[in-house]
Amino acid sequence: EALIFRFETSGDTRTYQLETFFSQVGIEELIIGGGIMAGYLFNGDPNFHFIDNQVLLFLFRYGLIPTILYLYLLISPIVKSVKIKNKKMILKSTVLFSWFLAMMGLGVYFSISFGMAHILIMLYTGRLFYETKCCGKLINNEVV
């Protein structure tokens, strides 16, 4: 009960942030992207650079085309693994699914940066993309 009480009394900070963001940023700005230092007015900061949803932040900074390409590379191995019904590949894809959920805001302190974790995820994504797309021939339920 204490946990439920804590959630009821702490309030929702993301809704306010999203309302503020969308009141200042139009769809055309998300399509084009504003660059790495794109900002908006939030909590008195006239050039606030962050938002809890990393997919939205990716759109805000880089635009629609890079965001679609990034998400295609990330989500494609997940979808393909389920489509070919390969349990081993589905299990391998859970890492990418977790990364995607964190990008969508499940992980509050998660942000995409070009650090070691992101480099490793991109290498892993490339490997799974290769295993499911390029050489997705199944022999005895193993990718070859």
Q: Report DSSP state, residue 56.
A: H
R_g of the chain, CA atoms, integer Å:
18
State pLDDT tens for residues 77-125. Answer: 999 888 888 888 889 999 999 989 888 877 666 677 778 888 898 899 8
State the pLDDT confidence band at 11, using cuts at 50, 70 and 90: low
Core vs surface per residue 11-34: b (16+ CB within 10 A) or e: eeeeeebbebbeeebeeeebeebb
State pLDDT tens for residues 131-140. Answer: 887 655 554 5
**CB contact at 8 A, 96 and 128:** yes
